[in-house]
Amino acid sequence: MIIPKEKQTELYRLTNPPTIAWPTVAVLLYVMGGVIAVDIAALTGVIPLWLGMILNVATMYPFFHVMHDSFHRAASSNVKINDWIGRLVLIAVGFHVNLGAARYSHMMHHRFVNGPNDPDHYFHGKWWTLPFRWMTMDYHYTWYNLTREDPRGRKVMIKTLPWSITMFGIYAVLIYMGYGWELLLLWYMPLRLALGLISFAVLWLPHIDGDEHGELAHIGAGTHVATTGDTLTAATTMRLGFEKILAPLLQWHNYHLIHHLWPTTPSYNHAKVWALLEPELRERDLRIQHDFDLIPVLHHGRASAVPAE
């Protein structure tokens, strides 16, 4: 895709991290402050534990934005600051692996998107398995890292051992001290539910299409061409309609294609990149989910490098 010269400067500004991505920092503070406030309120009896569980789903859900943007060095142009932003949000939600291990799995998704080695195939399957798949995102990625024939995967898992041992040690101490029920309701269950919502919104929804029978399927698995080696702009979807509602709910990944094309873009800039380059992108094949539709419509562009089937 050729970017007009008059748009290149603005595209560069939008798709590269600022010194500090303050909206991302604001989300980090919301997650950290929210989890602490809810836990204190529940542990002191101000609110019941079941309400604390529900509220912690809401406080934990946006952690993905912070973690994900730090994966791509989009939280800060300073690598150390960027990575600490990511680490802090993982601490806030009690994640059992460190930033490096989580980043590796996600980068394999970008490398192999929709292909046979894409780790995110896991999030697709029979409808009755989907909630379990979505809520076990972190366990799946750990298994993926350990079982791949790639020494880098095992290397990042070795490096995460001190982090993981510390986290599991904290869980064990809390259980030993008699806080097992509180740990279950205020941490484990909210995190599982938040991961389920995140997997649905970001890992499943933008990567589905209809197969030859009109059934939901992972793009590239019995659907029209759309792998990295085929039609890149049709490798994932754009969701157009109700953007003011869906953008915050989907953590700006209703414009998921923008992320795959320019991964270093701070997620909150996705809409601006789309607005800037919509005419050029519409020259290419696009999978567009309209409003609240699940199955996207494949719009054929005039300038596609490889015509879609």
In tens, the pLDDT along 138-183 reads: 999 999 999 998 999 999 999 999 999 999 999 999 999 999 999 9
Lowest mean pLDDT, pick from 165-169, 210-214, 235-239: 210-214
Distant-in-sequence, close-in-space partners of 173: CB < 8 Å, separation ≥ 6: none
Token pair, residue 256, equals 């998921």
Q: Considering the entire predicted model, what is its pTM?
A: 0.93
C-alpha 112/C-alpha 103 separation (Å) is 14
pLDDT confidence of residue 305? 43
Whether residue 230 has pLDDT greater than 60: no
What does the buried/exposed string (b/e) look like for 170-198 if buried means 16 or more CB atoms within 10 Å of the residue's CB? ebeeeeeeeeeebbebbbebbbbbbbbbb
The pLDDT confidence band at residue 211, using thresholds 50, 70 and 90, is confident
C-alpha 207/C-alpha 204 separation (Å) is 5
Token pair, residue 305, equals 């490098």
CB 284 within 8 A of CB 8: no
pLDDT confidence of residue 149? 87
221 burial type by CB count under 10 A (0-12 exposed, 13-18 middle, 19+ buried): middle
